[in-house]
Amino acid sequence: MKSQNLDELSRIVDLNKIESAKNSINEANGLPNECYLNDEYFKIEKERVFFNNWIVVGVSSSVPEIGDAKPFDLMGTPLLILRDKNNKIRVFHNVCSHRGMILVNEECKLKNTIRCPYHSWSYNFNGELIATPHVGGMNIHEADGFIKSKSNLKEVSTHIWMDLIFININKNKKNFEESIYPLEQQWSKFISKEDQKLIRHAKDFGYFNMEVQSNWKLAIENYCESYHLPWVHPELNRVSNLKDHYHIEDLAETFSGQGSNKYSQQFDGNKKLSTFPNWPNDLYQNSEYVSLFPNVMLGIHVDHFYAFWLEPLSNNNTREHFEMYYVGDESASSDEYKEIRKKNFAFWQEVMNEDVGVIEGMQKGRNSPVYNGGNFSPVMDTPTLMFHKWVATNLTK
Ligand code: FES
Ligand SMILES: [Fe+2]
């Protein structure tokens, strides 16, 4: 299987160039241009990077009530996100077992069933096929030899963490708890597992999305390094300077990023947002920003958390979804904190907008035949190389 996989990849891209990303930082080159430009490569990446790992496809608070359903197109693969009768988020392949019709085309509220619009086969919220009208001829709803249970919907492994909906399409990944353990350890100095339950999606100023003309990987690469701060984010750099940042590199290589020692809470007059209850006083000015591989960028602060997750649309087009969270209902919803929410949202939206020019510029740069995948600063670029190495390993294993 491995050599077959490598054959397929080697038809598109020089494998030595992919292997080079696994070298030590002085020897390494980054992933080659084909990994950002080639349509065939994009399909391979979908299988090996997106289907083989836990990835983010949405947030559970966007389907808040039982029966809320939302289609999601994962790089051409139709999925359906649904809140079932037990309040559990489920993700199914959004395709009817009969003639392959798409089941749900747009966001909606379902009553009791997922009914196919073509011949009305219906599935309950567990994905079981429960009604097949006229399947045995006019007014005969059962048929000899037709076993309904063989036609249930195909469900995807799903786990909710910090409101994020993670899925593993190929069901081949170790369980989610194990996968997220390194990041929970990294953040155990700030929050406990219990504290995770306190986050609430902001009632207003809580979401935006934008489309960038860039490969999804460039957003991740840009996010995990602080090197660009002085030039791309001059405002941010004034309050949280490059020198106040440190690298974050997971030993298990599931995430990389940066932390700051200079976070200061947003305020409105003398009002401040609620804080995580177990966050130590001496770490109030610490905040951390990590790219959790492959497709979500996270930021944690004493008084808010955000997730910026990526929906790859093609090799050079990505939709970025930003989700803002606060600690407890008051901070997330009450009018008292509205001004702070507004200010905080505008701040992050501005920062994320400032990155668009460089993400898109790097994409354009990858059309140059002389670009060799990149050389790295041995000091400033270690988090970026960790991500390249992770992608290269996923492609070649
Ligand atoms: S395709 Fe869905 S019922 Fe026929
Ligand atoms: Fe940035």
Spatial distance between the Cα atoms of 126 and 121, rounded to a whole number of angstroms: 14
- Express the helix, strand and coil content of the chain in percent, nearest 5 each: 30, 25, 40
For ligand 1, the distance from its centroid to the CA atom of residue 102, given in whole angstroms, is 9
Alpha helices in the chain (DSSP H): 2-10, 15-20, 34-37, 39-45, 176-186, 193-196, 216-223, 229-232, 234-239, 328-333, 338-365, 382-396
- Is residue 223 classed exposed, middle or buried when 0-12, 13-18 and 19+ CB atoms within 10 A define those classes? buried
Ligand 1: nearest atom to the Cα of 100: 1
Phi, psi of 58 (to 5 degrees): 155, -170
The torsion defined by the Cα of 202, 205, 206 and 210, in degrees rounded to 10, comes to 180
Concatenating the DSSP letter of every residue in 17-81 gives HHHHTTS-TTT-----THHHH-HHHHHHHIIIIISSS-EEEEEGGGS-STTEEEEEEETTEEEEE
Which ranges in the chain are annotated with CATH 2.102.10.10? 57-159
Spatial distance between the Cα atoms of 361 and 359, rounded to a whole number of angstroms: 5
Among residues 238, 272, 213, 233, the alpha carbon closest in space to that of 352 is found at 233
Average pLDDT over every residue of 136-160: 97
Determine the residue type at 214. Answer: S
Q: Confirm if 344 and 266 have CB atoms less than 8 A apart.
A: yes
Residue with CA nearest ligand 1 atom 3: 119
Check residue 99 and give its pLDDT: 98
Question: Which of 101, 115, 135 gets mutated to test ligand 1 (max ligand atoms within 8 A of its CB)?
Answer: 101
Q: Is pLDDT at 1 greater than 70 in this prediction?
A: no
CATH superfamily of 57-159: Rieske [2Fe-2S] iron-sulphur domain (2.102.10.10)
Question: Which of 116, 123, 129 gets mutated to test ligand 1 (max ligand atoms within 8 A of its CB)?
Answer: 116
Q: Is 201 helix (H, G, I), strand (E, B) or coil?
A: strand
Take residue 290 and report the two structure tokens written for it.
């990590």
Share of the chain above pLDDT 90, in %: 94
For ligand 2, the distance from its centroid to the CA atom of residue 146, given in whole angstroms, is 56
Q: Give the pLDDT band (50/70/90) at residue 268.
A: confident
For residue range 74-117, list pLDDT tens digits in order. Answer: 999 999 999 999 999 999 999 999 999 999 999 999 999 999 99
Check residue 240 and give its pLDDT: 85
Take residue 382 and report the two structure tokens written for it.
């270690």
Q: Give the pLDDT band (50/70/90) at residue 173.
A: confident
Which ligand does the CA of 118 lie closest to?
1
Ligand 1: nearest atom to the Cα of 120: 3
Residue with CA nearest ligand 1 atom 4: 119
- Is residue 159 classed exposed, middle or buried when 0-12, 13-18 and 19+ CB atoms within 10 A define those classes? middle
Q: Give the pLDDT band (50/70/90) at residue 397.
A: confident
For ligand 2, the distance from its centroid to the CA atom of residue 263, given in whole angstroms, is 15
For residue range 189-230, list pLDDT tens digits in order. Answer: 999 999 999 999 999 999 999 999 999 999 999 999 999 999
Kindly list the protein residues whose Cβ atom lies closer than 6 A to any atom of ligand 1: 96, 98-99, 101, 116, 118-121
For residue range 281-327, list pLDDT tens digits in order. Answer: 999 999 999 999 999 999 999 999 999 999 999 999 999 999 999 99
Yes or no: is domain 174-396 CATH 1.10.760.10?
Answer: no
Ligand 1: nearest atom to the Cα of 121: 3
pTM for the structure as a whole:
0.97
Q: In this structure, what DSSP letter does residue 95 have?
A: B
For ligand 2, the distance from its centroid to the CA atom of residue 222, given in whole angstroms, is 6
Q: Confirm if 289 and 301 have CB atoms less than 8 A apart.
A: no
For residue range 358-382, list pLDDT tens digits in order. Answer: 999 999 999 999 999 999 999 999 9
